[in-house]
Amino acid sequence: MSDGHSNINRDNTIPNAVELRHTGSVVLVCAIGEHMGWDELNGIASDPHDHTVFTVDSYDHLSTMLDPMRAATADGKLSVQ
Protein backbone atom coordinates (compact mmCIF):
# COMPACT_ATOMS: atom_id res chain seq x y z
CA MET A 1 0.00 0.00 0.00
CA SER A 2 1.28 3.41 -0.89
CA ASP A 3 0.42 6.88 -2.01
CA GLY A 4 3.40 6.78 -4.34
CA HIS A 5 5.54 9.02 -2.16
CA SER A 6 8.12 6.92 -0.31
CA ASN A 7 9.06 8.19 3.12
CA ILE A 8 11.89 5.77 3.89
CA ASN A 9 14.76 4.81 1.58
CA ARG A 10 12.98 6.44 -1.34
CA ASP A 11 15.95 5.88 -3.67
CA ASN A 12 15.59 2.13 -3.15
CA THR A 13 11.83 1.80 -3.65
CA ILE A 14 11.68 1.25 -7.40
CA PRO A 15 14.97 -0.68 -7.69
CA ASN A 16 13.78 -3.04 -4.94
CA ALA A 17 10.46 -3.53 -6.74
CA VAL A 18 12.29 -4.28 -9.99
CA GLU A 19 14.48 -6.81 -8.18
CA LEU A 20 11.37 -8.45 -6.71
CA ARG A 21 9.73 -8.65 -10.14
CA HIS A 22 12.89 -10.30 -11.51
CA THR A 23 12.36 -13.15 -9.04
CA GLY A 24 9.15 -14.00 -10.86
CA SER A 25 6.80 -12.18 -8.49
CA VAL A 26 3.86 -10.22 -9.80
CA VAL A 27 3.60 -7.00 -7.81
CA LEU A 28 0.20 -5.43 -7.18
CA VAL A 29 -0.06 -1.88 -5.85
CA CYS A 30 -2.83 -0.64 -3.58
CA ALA A 31 -2.71 3.15 -3.74
CA ILE A 32 -4.56 5.29 -1.23
CA GLY A 33 -5.12 9.02 -1.38
CA GLU A 34 -5.94 11.86 -3.70
CA HIS A 35 -2.45 13.08 -4.60
CA MET A 36 -0.63 9.98 -5.76
CA GLY A 37 2.89 9.70 -7.12
CA TRP A 38 2.07 7.85 -10.32
CA ASP A 39 5.67 7.43 -11.47
CA GLU A 40 6.54 5.61 -8.27
CA LEU A 41 3.34 3.55 -8.23
CA ASN A 42 3.87 2.41 -11.82
CA GLY A 43 7.56 1.81 -11.10
CA ILE A 44 6.62 -0.56 -8.28
CA ALA A 45 3.79 -2.44 -10.01
CA SER A 46 4.17 -5.20 -12.55
CA ASP A 47 2.95 -4.68 -16.10
CA PRO A 48 0.29 -4.17 -17.29
CA HIS A 49 -0.46 -1.35 -14.87
CA ASP A 50 -4.15 -1.28 -15.71
CA HIS A 51 -4.31 -4.71 -14.05
CA THR A 52 -1.84 -4.20 -11.20
CA VAL A 53 -2.44 -0.69 -9.81
CA PHE A 54 -5.58 -0.27 -7.73
CA THR A 55 -6.60 3.05 -6.25
CA VAL A 56 -9.02 4.48 -3.71
CA ASP A 57 -9.43 7.96 -2.27
CA SER A 58 -9.39 6.91 1.38
CA TYR A 59 -8.85 3.99 3.75
CA ASP A 60 -12.62 3.83 4.18
CA HIS A 61 -12.87 2.49 0.62
CA LEU A 62 -10.17 -0.18 0.77
CA SER A 63 -12.69 -3.00 0.58
CA THR A 64 -13.73 -1.80 -2.90
CA MET A 65 -10.33 -2.99 -4.18
CA LEU A 66 -10.92 -6.61 -3.26
CA ASP A 67 -13.11 -7.71 -6.16
CA PRO A 68 -11.01 -6.01 -8.87
CA MET A 69 -7.84 -7.47 -7.34
CA ARG A 70 -9.36 -10.94 -7.20
CA ALA A 71 -10.48 -10.63 -10.81
CA ALA A 72 -7.06 -9.46 -11.98
CA THR A 73 -5.29 -12.37 -10.33
CA ALA A 74 -7.83 -15.03 -11.25
CA ASP A 75 -8.42 -14.34 -14.95
CA GLY A 76 -4.94 -15.21 -16.15
CA LYS A 77 -4.08 -11.67 -17.27
CA LEU A 78 -1.20 -11.51 -14.83
CA SER A 79 1.80 -13.66 -15.50
CA VAL A 80 5.53 -13.41 -15.19
CA GLN A 81 7.02 -12.06 -18.41
Q: Comparing C-alpha atoms, which of 5, 52, 2, 6 is closest to residue 27?
A: 52
Question: Which pTM value belongs to this model?
Answer: 0.82
pLDDT tens-digit profile, the chain (81 residues) = 887 888 888 899 999 999 999 999 999 999 998 888 999 999 999 999 988 999 999 989 989 988 888 888 876 666 554
Q: Quick one: DSSP state of residue 62?
A: G
By CB neighbour count within 10 A (0-12 exposed, 13-18 middle, 19+ buried), where does 53 fall?
Answer: buried
Domain boundaries, the chain: 10-73
